[in-house]
C-alpha cells in the first residue's frame, strides 16, 4: 500500500528501514511524549517485524506506514491508523517524525492523507487521536487537520514512573475536515 502527497510518500515499512526508524525511535526528544520508547535496537526490530506481518493480515486492522520525504527519498517518520472497532467503524491515528522534520507541515500532510484513506477507502465513521496536553506541536497538528477536542483524560497512562494525562481529538466521517482538504 502506498499513499502520496505533494511532498510525502506513505508506504509499507521494510526490514531495510531499521537504521532510519531507529534514528528517530531511539531519540529521547522525539519519544518524550509517546507511550513507547526510546527504542533499543531490538525494540525497533520488533516494531518492524510486527508492522510487516500486520501488512499481510486479512482483514487488515493496522496500517503502520513509513513517512518518506519524496524530495530526498528519506524516511522521516511513521504514521499509523489502527481500526479499533469494525462494528463501530472506529480507528485511532498516531504519528511520529524525526526531529529534523518538525515544524515543516509534514505531520499535518501525512495525517490528512490518512484521514482521507480511513474515511474514503475504509468507510470509517470516527477517527480519534490522543496526545499529551504539553505537546503543543501535536495539538496544533490535530487542530490544523480539523480534528476537534473531545476530552481530557486525567492520569490516563503511567509512563516512565509517573501518571500522564491525554487529550482526545476526533473527526467524524459525515463532516470530516479531510473532505475539503486537497491530498
Domains along the chain with CATH numbers: 2-180 (3.40.630.30)
Provide the 3-class DSSP secondary structure of residue 49: helix
| 167 membership: H or E segment, kind and range | strand 162-172
Task: State pTM to two decimals.
Answer: 0.93
Provide the 3-class DSSP secondary structure of residue 53: helix
CA pseudo-torsion sign 94, 88, 54, 159: positive
Q: Where are the beta strands (DSSP E) in the chain?
A: 2-4, 8-12, 62-69, 74-85, 90-97, 126-131, 148-159, 162-172
H helices present in the chain, as ranges: 18-25, 41-54, 106-116, 136-144
- Give me the tens of pLDDT residue by residue for the chain, a chain 183 residues long: 999 999 999 999 999 999 999 999 999 999 999 999 999 999 999 999 999 999 999 999 999 999 999 999 999 999 999 999 999 999 999 999 999 999 999 999 999 999 999 999 999 999 999 999 999 999 999 999 999 999 999 999 998 889 999 999 999 998 765 555 544
All three cell numbers of 12, joined, read: 509499507
Amino acid at each position: 500500500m502506498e499513499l502520496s502527497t505533494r511532498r510525502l510518500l506513505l508506504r509499507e515499512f521494510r526490514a531495510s528501514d531499521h537504521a532510519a526508524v531507529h534514528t528517530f525511535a531511539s531519540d529521547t526528544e522525539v519519544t518524550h511524549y509517546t507511550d513507547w520508547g526510546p527504542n533499543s535496537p531490538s525494540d525497533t526490530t520488533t516494531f518492524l517485524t510486527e508492522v510487516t506481518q500486520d501488512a499481510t493480515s486479512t482483514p487488515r486492522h493496522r496500517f503502520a506506514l513509513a513517512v518518506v520525504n519524496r524530495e530526498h527519498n528519506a524516511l522521516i517518520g511513521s504514521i499509523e491508523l489502527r481500526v479499533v472497532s469494525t462494528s463501530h467503524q472506529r480507528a485511532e491515528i498516531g504519528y511520529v517524525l524525526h526531529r529534523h522534520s518538525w515544524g515543516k507541515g509534514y505531520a499535518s500532510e501525512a495525517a490528512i492523507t490518512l484521514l482521507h484513506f480511513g474515511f474514503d477507502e475504509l468507510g470509517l465513521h470516527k477517527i480519534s487521536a490522543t496526545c499529551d496536553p504539553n505537546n503543543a506541536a501535536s495539538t496544533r497538528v490535530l487542530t490544523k487537520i480539523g480534528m476537534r477536542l473531545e476530552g481530557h483524560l486525567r492520569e490516563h497512562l503511567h509512563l516512565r514512573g509517573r501518571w500522564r494525562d491525554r487529550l482526545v481529538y476526533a473527526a467524524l466521517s459525515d463532516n470530516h475536515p479531510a473532505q475539503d482538504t486537497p491530498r
